[in-house]
Amino acid sequence: MPTKPNELTTIRDLLRYAVTRFNTAKLFFGHGSTNALDEAAYLILHTLKLPLDKLDPFFDAHLLQEEVDAVLRVIEQRADERLPAAYITNEGWLGGYRFYVDERVIVPRSFIAELIPEQFSPWVSNPDKVNNILELCTGSGCLPIMLADAFPNAHVDAVDISTDALEVAKRNVAEYELEHRINLIESDLYANVPEYKFDLIVTNPPYVNSGSMSKLPPEYLREPQIALAGGTDGMDLVRKIVAGAGQRLTPNGLLMVEIGNEREFAEAAFPELNLTWLTTSAGDDMVFLITADQLQ
């Protein structure tokens, strides 16, 4: 290590060291934190089992040598291996929810998550009458858990093609005690989905176009690439999802699809559809909506 452990004795010391180490290593931050300081604070507090929102009271606390060693191991792992922090701590946060994660799933992140607490208002006029929701490409199971909370009368079918991802999702569904409301299905999109109709189909599918895939930072390359790669224009799975949604939606049903920075490709892929773009913290380009009527 670049420094001797006994030269660092307080959380303040470790935080300063971590920020310098991360910036020197030119790490990429896109899995929860947006900068070296926030990421360092999170990793230090988590490692020391301290409240994640209370750094100040512990700034100048002197640490035991084994605590210093544990923090330094985490700092070096993040810097040397370019491993996303969520894989080091085995937890990801989305919309105030905590989820177990490991390298079998991508780190939870979704702009759809911002719309769920509002129950997709004004597009869903009566949330209590939402009975069946289909969530495709579920990964860690983060979105169906949030959907089950937001729509108290809904049954949620959550689909993924990856058995590894579904094992992680199963753990998270059990953690939130939602096994009776969330059904996990191993399926290539609609293939194994029950035949009944859905009030909502929600998906955050792989949508990164091949040009962008070739330029991903090392941190993203540690994630399952099947959960990111969307083909030449990023729309390979999106086309299949849109094509199959019409026969799966109720007459007043809605399809919501997250496509990240691929709005131009999405509009080119569906020129006959007047896509409705929903507003998120990143603007009006990340999530589109299609009604069942449009798909008939």
Q: Is the pLDDT of residue 1 over 80?
A: no
Given this model, what pLDDT does residue 48 score?
Answer: 97
Q: What does the pLDDT look like over 17-29, one tens digit per residue?
A: 999 999 999 999 9
Q: What percent of the chain has pLDDT over 90?
A: 92
Q: Is the pLDDT of residue 5 over 50?
A: no
Q: What does the pLDDT look like over 231-275, one tens digit per residue?
A: 999 999 999 999 999 999 999 999 999 999 899 999 999 999 999
Reference 11, options 51, 52, 60, 56; nearest CA is 60
Q: Is the pLDDT of residue 6 over 70?
A: no
Q: Is the pLDDT of residue 56 over 90?
A: no
Q: What does the pLDDT look like over 159-176, one tens digit per residue?
A: 999 999 999 999 999 999
Q: What does the pLDDT look like over 281-292, one tens digit per residue?
A: 998 999 999 999
Mean of pLDDT values over 128-132: 97
